[in-house]
Amino acid sequence: MEKLIITCALNGGEIAKEDFPPLPCTPEEIAVAAEEAARAGAAMVHIHARDERNQPTQRADIFAEIIRHVRARTDVIIQVSTGGSVGMTPEERLGPVTLTGPVKPEMATLTAGTTNFGDGVFSNPPAVMETFAKRIAEAGLKPEIEVFDAGFVDNALRLVAKGLLKPPLHFDLVMGVPGGIGATPVNLLHLVGSLPAGSTWSVAGIARAQLPLATMAVILGGHARVGFEDNIYYSRGVKAESNAQLVARAARLAAELGRELATPDEARRLLGLPYHN
């Protein structure tokens, strides 16, 4: 079985700093959180940006500053969000994909469909998906295909048929968002069974589903995403102190189940990214 890639989704675009003070928002806070997560066992960090008022933003200059700070502290894989926050325009969401040189990320998300998202709608019609696939490819980034419901896998395969995505593909199965696929073991098995041969996948369980679905990923040979974007609780009624605390728990779980953790460069090899060695 492949070594386990733990991704830490550090902050997201929906949680408010005033509601959850440990949320990392400034470039410095995000970099410290990334370093702590890496020390706890994460091989990849998934990053959203916040502006000077701690509001979600896709501004390329802020992402550039974040990436500079992260790379000064750790060699984790840097994956940027093109989801941003519900209500942003497609062009706005593509901001971090434009980065080049020493602040160029390694991966970017590509959401393969439209879904209800709480009280809003996360809109990704076919033309938007095709544009994002083209722009991510032109930037030389590896897409992570975000799956919020079962039909999203078929949408990704249509992009493959059009030559806009090239296998092997990497999927992130986001389960438990209100309006998306439910975070149940049966649903996870269905999604994994629908993926094309040769794909890699991780699972992001929302809220209390984070731990049980991460456990299933360890057992099934997938990879696990944890962190404040998806869950701010360590246990029932007890909020987590840091992203690293959630990563460390996933790492301990993997050790108990006999699954070794991938280092950042081992994760790069598994995902087909350039690596440092």
Map out the domains of the chain as residue ranges. Answer: 6-271
pTM of the model: 0.97
**Judging by beta carbons within 10 Å of its beta carbon (0-12, 13-18, 19+), is residue 84 exposed, middle or buried?**
buried
Using left for φ > 0, alpha for ψ between -120 and 50, and beta otherwise, residue 172 falls in: beta
Q: What percent of the chain has pLDDT over 90?
A: 95
Q: Give the max Cα distance, the chain.
A: 47
- 6-271 architecture in CATH? Alpha-Beta Barrel (3.20)
Nearest-CA neighbor of 230 among 184, 271, 172? Answer: 172
> Would you place residue 87 in the very low, low, confident or very high pLDDT band (cuts 50, 70, 90)?
confident
Q: What number is the average pLDDT over the span 207-234?
A: 97
Give the pLDDT of residue 276.
65
Mean pLDDT for the chain overall:
96
- Cα–Cα distances (Å) from 92 to 62, 70, 78, 106, 136, in that order, read 13, 23, 20, 19, 14
> Would you place residue 116 in the very low, low, confident or very high pLDDT band (cuts 50, 70, 90)?
very high
Q: Which two tokens stand for residue 99?
A: 């980065």
Distance, in Å, from the CA atom of 15 to the CA atom of 20, rounded to the nearest integer, reads 7
- Looking at per-residue pLDDT, the higher value among 275 and 7 belongs to 7
Q: What percent of the chain has pLDDT over 70?
A: 99
- The predicted-structure confidence for 4-26, as pLDDT tens digits, reads as follows 999 999 999 989 999 999 999 99
Q: Where are the alpha helices (DSSP H) in the chain?
A: 27-40, 60-73, 90-93, 126-138, 151-161, 185-194, 210-220, 243-256, 264-271
- Cα–Cα distances (Å) from 159 to 88, 111, 131, 140, 145, in that order, read 23, 12, 11, 17, 11
- The predicted-structure confidence for 250-261, as pLDDT tens digits, reads as follows 999 999 999 999
Mean pLDDT check: name the lowest of 117-121, 162-166, 221-225. 117-121
Give the pLDDT of residue 86.
86
With beta carbons less than 8 A apart as the criterion, state whether 249 and 205 touch.
Answer: no
- Cα–Cα distances (Å) from 251 to 3, 172, 262, in that order, read 11, 19, 10
> Would you place residue 33 in the very low, low, confident or very high pLDDT band (cuts 50, 70, 90)?
very high
Instruction: Say if residue 58's pLDDT is above 70.
Output: yes
| Phi, psi (degrees; rounded to nearest 5) at 217 | -60, -45
In this structure, the chain runs to a length of 277
Q: Which two tokens stand for residue 232?
A: 């701010």
Q: What number is the average pLDDT over the span 101-114?
A: 98
Instruction: Say if residue 139's pLDDT is above 80.
Output: yes
Instruction: Say if residue 225's pLDDT is above 60.
Output: yes
User: How many alpha carbons lie under 13 Å from residue 271 in its C-beta half-sphere?
Assistant: 34
Q: Which string of DSSP letters, residue by residue, matches 13-68?
A: SS--TTT-TT---SHHHHHHHHHHHHHHT-SEEEE-EE-TTS-EE--HHHHHHHHH
**Judging by beta carbons within 10 Å of its beta carbon (0-12, 13-18, 19+), is residue 71 exposed, middle or buried?**
middle
Instruction: Say if residue 277's pLDDT is above 70.
Output: no
Nearest-CA neighbor of 45 among 254, 235, 243? Answer: 243
> Would you place residue 275 in the very low, low, confident or very high pLDDT band (cuts 50, 70, 90)?
confident
